[in-house]
Homo-oligomer: A and B are copies of this chain.
């Protein structure tokens, strides 16, 4: 058995170094195909080479490091996460998975360990989708599911993705060369911060992800009748906001009583929107997620019925549009079992949880089994400068990833 190394400090130092590569000095912002993207890629490739890997930038801007197995050209275990950020980001979301994987490989290299598989570490170029409003660009290119229509999308300066690739030194027509064959990839494991408060509330440094939740988003418009706040008696009102309020509570009640389901009304816009006018119209959103597609679909159906009934009861017109519908992506039991073993081996209880946020694994699942390790983050805060991971949790995550790699079972590949 390989002894897990002490990698936490190196990882945390590298997170700080990457966190300083930002287009704004005081607000971490590292956007796809910018000079900061280039600088971060160069830094990652330097660390990859230092860890004994070959490294290159692929056709979409992913950083790809490869550590050969017992002989050259073996199928790989793929590790990784993304290294782009949202605007005014935290420094852990994404980079922790890339940097931890590099450090693990570096340690294996130091120990001169080779396996009956290669290891690849990918730094995905664009997961957040800030620049072109389309997520998972890097991982979709690798999975061979990149949608070329996005090449004509423009950023806020009016630059198309095609132009931005060219300015970066990449050729849009070559993106398909980034795609990987199913036979070449044994599995994919991503380590990522939880971006939620569950592990903190459980007192656990790490968690085993069961699935990346599917999500349905609805846009709901209630229309009633605006009126004077003083002159229309309560029983003659058709108050769109009162109807929305009843719906919001019904959504909360339903989701609270179904384990594993979350439902959020994140936005509500009230018109006309004056203190002394009864609201005639409210536009509100609903975001429903679950690790189980069956649970999510049933919830959406029940909630739509409930919302429509509330509108009818109040003589409000109701229009519901489905703006987003993404299936759940399960983590593969074969890989999750190996991660669970590593977690137990490191003396931790195995806490299973779904990932409510999306990750590159959603795209990579199209070419291989995936597994995910969550690391606790303080207060569940993410996409914010206050995002923080304790050094001991960085260490715990690294040890578990290292153990999982070192004990990876090549024959676990399904299908």
Contact = CB atoms under 8 A, between A and B. Distances in A.
Interface of A: 194-198, 201, 213, 215, 217, 227-236, 239, 241-242, 244-246, 248-249, 252, 255-256, 261-270, 273-279, 285, 287, 289, 323, 355-358, 380-383
A275 B285 contact: yes
A203 to B, nearest CB: 14
A398 to B, nearest CB: 22
B256 A248 contact: no
B380 A231 contact: yes
A231 B287 contact: no
A292 to B, nearest CB: 14
Contacts of A197: 227, 231-233, 236
A278 B262 CA distance: 11
Given A201-B236, A230-B289, A270 B273 contact: no
A215 B195 contact: no
A195 B266 contact: no
A198 B252 contact: no
Contact of A265 (B195, B233, B241): B241
A381 to B, nearest CB: 8
Contacts of A242: 248-249, 252, 265
Q: How many copies does the complex hold?
A: 2
26 contacts: A196-B227, A196-B228, A196-B230, A196-B231, A196-B232, A197-B233, A198-B231, A227-B381, A228-B383, A230-B289, A230-B358, A231-B357, A231-B380, A232-B262, A234-B262, A235-B256, A241-B266, A241-B268, A244-B245, A245-B246, A245-B248, A246-B249, A267-B270, A268-B270, A275-B285, A275-B287
B275 A194 contact: no
Given A196-B232, A264-B277, 12 more contacts: A195-B231, A196-B230, A229-B289, A230-B355, A231-B357, A231-B380, A231-B382, A264-B276, A266-B277, A267-B270, A267-B273, A275-B285
Contacts of A279: 265-266
Contact of A234 (B231, B234, B256): B256
Contacts of A232: 196-197, 262, 356, 380
Given A231-B355, A231-B356, A357-B231, A245 B236 contact: no
Contacts of A255: 234
A274 B267 CA distance: 5
Contacts of A267: 270, 273-275
Contact of A245 (B231, B249, B263, B275): B249
B196 A262 contact: no
A264 B289 CA distance: 33
Contacts of A245: 244-246, 248-249, 252, 265
Query: What 7 pairs between A and B have smallest CB-CB spacing?
Result: A230-B356, A196-B231, A229-B264, A245-B248, A245-B245, A231-B356, A275-B285
Contacts of A234: 252, 255-256, 261-263
A297 B229 CA distance: 17
Contact of A382 (B228, B323, B383): B228
Given A266-B275, A287-B275, A215 B241 contact: no
Contact of A239 (B194, B252, B273, B289): B252
Contacts of A241: 248, 265-266, 268
